[in-house]
Structure formats: C-alpha cells, structure tokens
Structure 1
C-alpha cells in the first residue's frame, strides 16, 4: 500500500512540476534583439543555446568584444605557443564577423597579442567596424608585453581605411568611410604617425576620448580645437618630443615621455596624470602644466627611479594647488629614505581631501632602521583619507602614518595596503615572480598589524589594513 501511495505521489508531483511555457522566446524578433543588446558579447553568444529562437540573436549584438585571457596566459607561460594561438584567435574573430548581421556597432574591442604579421586581418576588422559606424573602438595588441619596452614589430595603423594614403577617391574605396560616429578610440601597441593622429582628430568631430599607448612613430603631436575631445591619454610613446594642445575643452589629460608639453587655452582641465620616463623627466611636463595647475582638482604623479632621489628639490619648485582635492603619488624607491619631503607639495594643496601614496620598492630592498626625518609642522584642515600602498613596515612608512595622525585634524580613514604598486612602472628589471611578491606582501601585512596596532589612533579615525 505504501508503495502504491508512493508511486502515485511521484506521478502527481511530476504532473504538477510541468515546466511553464517560454513566453519570452515568442516575442517579436526585434524585441529579442533589443533584449540581447543589453548583454555583453560573451553573454549574448551564450543565449544561442536557450532555444531555436535564440540561435542567431547574438549575431545582431551591437557589442563585439574579442579577448581570450586564457590564451594570453598560455602565451605568457609558453612563448612557443604564440604563432598557434595567434592563428586561432584570428580565425575566431574572422568567423564571428562573417556571421555578424548588425548594421551598427556601439562597441568593437580586440585585445590579444598580435603583431604586424596579422596586418591584413586587423585591417579588415577595422574596415568592418568603421563601415558599421562604430561608436567605441579599442584595439589592444599588447598581450602581456611590457609597455616599457619598445616593440619594433608592432602593427601600424593603416592609412587606407582613413583615406589619407595619397590615392584618389576612385582608387581608394575606404576614403568615403564616415568617422563621425566615433566617440571613444583606444589604441595600445599600435604604431601611428602624428599625421594620422591629427587626421583622426579632424575627422572624428564627436570623439570625446582618445587613448594612444605604446606607439613608436609619434614624434610631434598637435591637438587643436574646436574639438569635442574631453579625455586624452598619450603614454609610453617613447620617441615623442613635443605635445601641443591648443583651444581644447579637455577635462582630463594623461601623459608620459614628453620632452616638451605646450598648453594654450585649455581652460577646463581638472585632472592630470603625469608618468615620468622621458629625458627631461617630470619637470618638463610640470612646466607645461603651469598655466592650469591653479585649477587642478585631481593630480597623479608617477616618479621615475632617478627622480625619486631628487624628490625634495623637485617638489619645492611646484606652485600652490589651491583647488586640488585628490593627490596620488607613485614613487619608485630603492631604499628606506624619509618620504617627509613630500610634505612640500602636499602643504601647497590647502583643500586636499584625499592623499594616496603608492610605493614601488626595489626587490632587493632591506628594511633597516635609520634616524627619523623631520618635516615642517602643518595643519591639514580638509584631509579626510590617507592611503599608503606598498607598505613594508620600514621607518619611512611608520613616520608618514604618525605624521598625518598628528597633523590631519579632519582625518577619517587611513588605508594601509601591503601590495606593491605594479601598474604604473614599466620596469622589467624590477619585476619579481608572483609567488615571491605574495610572500613579501604576507610579511608586510603581518608587520603592519604588529606596528600600527601599537599607535594611538583617535576613535574617529578608521584604520584599514587590506
């Protein structure tokens, strides 16, 4: 009797658990395509397994994002796999583009370790994107390459699709491409000349963001208005000599490796990032920024190895920064030296609310005791957050924390991060194995807890050790 009842119960349960009808898949094709448009490209492709109604909906996706991180990791570990993985990647992208049916693209992104040997395929991808009036285009061919090193085999941005190859319109079908749809353009490890860059700026009248990283062919660049450009980044272009910006409504500027920076009538500039790795160092760039330093609200300085030794002298030369709200300093340090010389710059920022110091130490650095440094007593009335990254537990770390506990009257939070700053210094000779770096960070975290817990921290200040 129990068995019969049990069997009946199972049959009844199975009947009650009947799957509901798929009403979403019965919606008109246009609405389903609109739904897919809110997904990333990879998410859109995954919908093809839902049902026959979803099989090819991804081919109408307005966002194409081609990146294979797993393959990039394999290439980084086994250099011999590069040619094979590159062929597979190119084949994958070509296959997707052959199936793609959307007439317009919001985004087209390629990120993989490719060189000029893949030129023909990359040219065709760019032509495809431009023909579909792409709005955001990113071409990142860096792989795991270090942008601090020049790459003679980098892909060169083609003149043909831009219509500036010197050919007539009749013999150059790409010359009629309309670039007005572009709003954001990012190139990494893509060589281009100053003429090409200026052509892009002249013809992409709605372009708001431009990023060029790792181009060997840029020497002299001029950016002149009227332009819609709000954000400009030109970094790791080690042959560049002069960057001139005139009559532009730039809001943010990120620049490195520029011997001469000329700014004229750039009234809206509020955020500046300076990576110093040029022959004249950060001084040349700061001199060019002198006309807008009084208006800056966010400033990031990435100080190179040699300039770290001259830090005190350099900072004394800088003017007051009355509107500065956030200051970030990336510092490459060789040994435990007092960092209180930074106070010269910080003291000139009377309204500073957040200070971030990111340390990058030489892997051979030995924590040692030294005589404490001295800094001018100064009351920071508005500083609320102090963050120290790359904490080792050496004398310079502790004295900085103590200094701001004493002088920042409005301080609300101190953030201590033992992880080393890796993202802004492209110095291969300072790289270490991941396992070695992790062990050092664990030791730094232990020292941070031991040393900082001994300090007298006011109750209104939150101490965070990451």
Structure 2
C-alpha cells in the first residue's frame, strides 16, 4: 500500500497550529482536518494582510510627519523683506503696483520701491495692447504718475525716470514730480520729453526748486527737450557726477556757465544741441573722464583742457587737440572717406597712448599708405564700422586693412563691421587666385569679429591673412549679416541672398584653412532669407523686440 503524498499547497504555520487544535484523537485527519487547515489558512492570510496594511499606514504617516518636520511649507510672503523688495524692483511699475491686491502683507511692499520708471511701455503697454504711443492721452499718463507717487512712501527713491512727450504747458505736474524727487532724496533723475510736436514750447527746468541742501543728493541727471534758463549760481549741479543733455537749445556761454558749477562731474553727454558751435570750459574739470558728443551739426571746436580718458564723438569731423590722457576714443563721421587714411594721418600725433579705438565712416577712397613710421604700441582693441557705399563697382580694397596687424603689434581684439551697398559677386575661382601678402606674425591677437562678410575676394583674402598670421588666435567669428554698419531700411532680398553667398564662401575657404578650430561662421540659409523682410534679420531694434515678444509668449 502506497504512503499518502503530502498536499501540494502551502500551509502557513499559524494555520497548521489551528488545524491540529481542532483535529484530535477522536477525529481522523481527513476532510475535517483539511477543512480546518483551509479555514485557518484564510484567517491567517486575512490577519497577515491586516498587519501589513497597518504597517504600511504607519510607515506612510511616519514619512509624512518626517517631511513636515524637515521641510516646512514656505510661503512667498515669508521671505525676508529685502528679497521681496528685490523681486518687486524687477517688475514694471504697473505690475509692481498690482501686487498690492495679493494680500495684506503685499499691500505696501511696492511702496518702498527704489526705482520709478514712467513711460508708455511701463504704464500702458502689455501683450494685448493695440494703442500706439502717440495716441495715449497725456492726461492719462499724468494721472497715473500722480496716483503712483501719492501712494508711494517717498522713502529711498534712488532713481526717477519720465519718458514721454511733455511740454511747458504741463509744468505744474512736472514741478510736483520734481518736488517728490527732492523730498525722496533721489540720486538719479531722468526727464526725457522728446518732442513729437516740436512747435510747442519746451518745459523750462525749475532750477529755483533746488538749493544747497535739496540739491546735494542728486548725483546723475539727464534732461531731454527742455529749456535751460539757469541762474548764475546753479546749486543743483554741485554734486553731479553725470550730466546728459539731449535736444536742449543752449548757447556756448550758457553751457560754459552750467559746466562751471559742475565741480565733481565725471561724465558729460551732449546730443542734438543745434545751437552749439564750441565746447569749452572756464575752469578745468579735473574729475571729468568721459565725454560723449553726437549730432551737433554746428560744432566746430572741441577744447579738451581736462584729463579725459574716454571720448565718443559722432558728427561733422572737427580737429582734436593733443590729449595725452585719452585711452578710449570713438570717432564716427561721414566726413571720413578712408578709415586707414584718418588713422595714420590724424591720430598718431594727437593720441599717442591710445588703448581702444573705434572708427565709423564711409569708405569712398582707397588709402595710399606707403610707410608707417609710427606704431600704436598701446593699442589693444580696434573696432572699425565701415560703409562701402558706391553706385558703381567698388574701388576700395578690404585687404588694405591687413597693415593694421603691423601698425598695432600688441593688439588683442579686432572688430571689422562692414556693409557694402554696391554691386556684389561672391568669390569664385574664375575670379583669379587669392592674393597672399608677406608673412606678418602677430603673437598677441586673440579675438577677431568680422560682420558683413559677403564672400568678396578681398574679404576672403583679409580673413585668411589674419588667420594664418595670428599665432595666439583663440576665436574668429564670421557673420555674413551686416549687424552694425548697415542702413537697415535699404536692405532687400538681394542683400539677403548675398548673406547666403557669404556663408558658403566662408565655409569653403576660411573653415577649411582653420587648423586650430577657432573659426565660427554664423549660418545663413536660403530659407532663412526667403519670404521675410531682410531688415528683420539684422536690425538690432527689431531683433530685441522679437526676443521680447518670444519671451512673453513663453510665459
């Protein structure tokens, strides 16, 4: 007789003990014992699941309590006040004021904002706005500015800016804003009332509101389209370190009087002042180190009798007096017909210690430079903005610029920005072999940036000459698009196709000659210029506007 086999199922120990309890000597271990094992096994399984569920629940509660202990929930309003004020300062003034409705805690945070900017963009414009700037009523602007200033605490306002077309008929309101700035001890004041309707009388700046005490906090001031009928003693200017005058009608004598009161002035900017014929000072401005002059068509004399370090000039070409302290010079003038001729015939004798030089001009003539007895041994950074404008075939030669490597032996960065408004044809082998100049090793040039690279033969030759002779070169950027010197409204589809040609030529000749992996060419494809307005590819204002709209769309 065969022995009975063990059942082929798993019996829990707890179930086995229960079965043995019910199956004694009087009951055979048959069906009843098996039934008891099954029932006990079910009870044990239920009890096991209950214990496991209870254990999981306790573990979950433990983790939850641990998180509550270790990582408390942080509210935005719990942040330190200086961080909240910084967050508010990054918002437009309109959005900053709106935060007052978030909660009681947020109601007055914006009232301690340190910078107040009032303009069409900051007060009216949003993503859904369709109202152009010139259709915004001036009274609406004035009411909004008054409302904000009335609610502001008036404490710690470091900067107050107003950008809108206002006139002397609004003097009552502007004077009230100036009194707020005086009471708030504002350090930087900007009143830019650029005219849309120039026939109206400009706002007359009230110098009488300032005295030795109230004007002592003002350190920077910009005035645009205002009238300056100043008294002999202008106390508001005593502590100014920065002064900008834009579209201000003033005579030479009035400017001299104003500057004579600026004892600690460090920066002076003068733009579109149509009555000025000379810029002089009665007494030396010992602290003035940066002078910016642009678009003053009658200016004939610029007397630099102070220790200038930086000079930026744009307008009709005028002679520069010798100034040994100048280190950074920017000259942009349509009177310059050749950048090389101006550099080698005008600058060496007057600016011997030049370190940074920017020249912007129209290239009509080819310079005839036979020898270069003087070198710019201090020059480190050179920037050229060249407009090759010609109705016929261009007669200038870009390769002539290669002499700058020899003239500035310690130059570290070179920028050549070009726009060619003439007949263009990309270089092909049928145009002849590329010219090679004698070797001129340059061990200090590290960065080169060329824009407006149309793939012209002389452009290729210059790029190859720089690439082959600059042993320390770290980066060479080539952009077919004229990002600086172009008159953008004149660009057409033909110009866009020239961008594509420039990219192809740079890839074929410049990149292939790059053995140090330093050349970077901006890609321009046919599909990038087709069915678009060409100026949208290069106009900085349009590019910035597009980036702003893309950023708003992603929010």
Native 8 Å contact 1:115 1:155 kept in 2: no
Confirm or deny that 1:463 pairs with 2:519: yes
Native 8 Å contact 1:134 1:181 kept in 2: no
Match of 2:229 in 1: 165
Change (3 A) 1:445 1:80: same
Q: Deviations over 1:276-308 (max 9, x none)?
A: 1359998899977555522111000001x3xx1
Distance 1:54 1:184 in 2: 35
Native 8 Å contact 2:463 2:510 kept in 1: no
Native 8 Å contact 2:344 2:372 kept in 1: no
Distance 2:373 2:324 in 1: 20
Distance 2:374 2:175 in 1: 47
Match of 1:232 in 2: 291
Change (3 A) 1:190 1:243: same
Instruction: Say what the alpha-carbon RMSD is for the aligned residues.
Output: 4.8
Confirm or deny that 1:382 pairs with 2:444: yes
Distance 2:64 2:515 in 1: 63
Change (3 A) 1:63 1:72: closer
Distance 2:200 2:397 in 1: 41
323, 327, 330: which one pairs with 1:273?
A: 330
Native 8 Å contact 2:405 2:440 kept in 1: no
Native 8 Å contact 1:135 1:181 kept in 2: no
Distance 2:124 2:419 in 1: 26
Q: CA deviation at 1:201?
A: 3.1
Q: CA deviation at 1:105?
A: 3.8
Q: CA deviation at 1:131?
A: 6.0
Distance 2:204 2:438 in 1: 56
Unaligned runs of 5+ in 1: 146-150, 169-174
Higher relative contact order (CA 8 A, sep 6+): 1
Q: Write out aligned runs for 1:40-439 (5 A).
A: 40=89, 42=91, 45=96, 48-69=100-121, 82-84=134-136, 88-112=140-164, 114=165, 116=167, 120=171, 125=177, 128-129=180-181, 132-140=184-192, 158=204, 160-161=206-207, 165=229, 178-223=236-281, 225-246=284-305, 248-263=306-321, 266-277=323-334, 290=348, 292-303=350-361, 305=362, 308-313=363-368, 319-334=374-389, 337-362=396-421, 365-369=423-427, 377-422=439-484, 431-432=489-490, 439=496
Bigger CA radius of gyration: 2
Distance 1:314 1:123 in 2: 58
Distance 2:493 2:182 in 1: 45
Change (3 A) 1:309 1:373: farther
Distance 1:153 1:61 in 2: 36
Q: CA deviation at 1:215?
A: 2.8
Q: Secondary structure at the match of 1:225?
A: coil
Distance 2:389 2:439 in 1: 27
Distance 1:83 1:116 in 2: 16
Distance 2:302 2:72 in 1: 68
Distance 2:273 2:200 in 1: 8
Q: CA deviation at 1:196?
A: 4.5
Change (3 A) 1:436 1:122: farther
Q: CA deviation at 1:116?
A: 4.7
Match of 1:443 in 2: 500
TM-score (normalizing by structure 1): 0.73
Q: CA deviation at 1:450?
A: 3.4
TM-score (normalizing by structure 2): 0.63
Native 8 Å contact 1:210 1:232 kept in 2: yes
Greater mean deviation of Cα atoms: 234-243 or 92-101 = 92-101
Q: CA deviation at 1:309?
A: 1.6
Aligned length: 432
Match of 2:541 in 1: none
Q: Deviations over 1:327-362 (max 9, x none)?
A: 000000136542122234442112111110011232
Distance 2:154 2:324 in 1: 40
Change (3 A) 1:385 1:222: same
Q: Secondary structure at the match of 1:403?
A: helix
Match of 1:172 in 2: none
Q: CA deviation at 1:93?
A: 3.6
Distance 2:397 2:205 in 1: 51
Distance 2:460 2:205 in 1: 55
Native 8 Å contact 2:238 2:263 kept in 1: yes
Q: Secondary structure at the match of 1:340?
A: helix
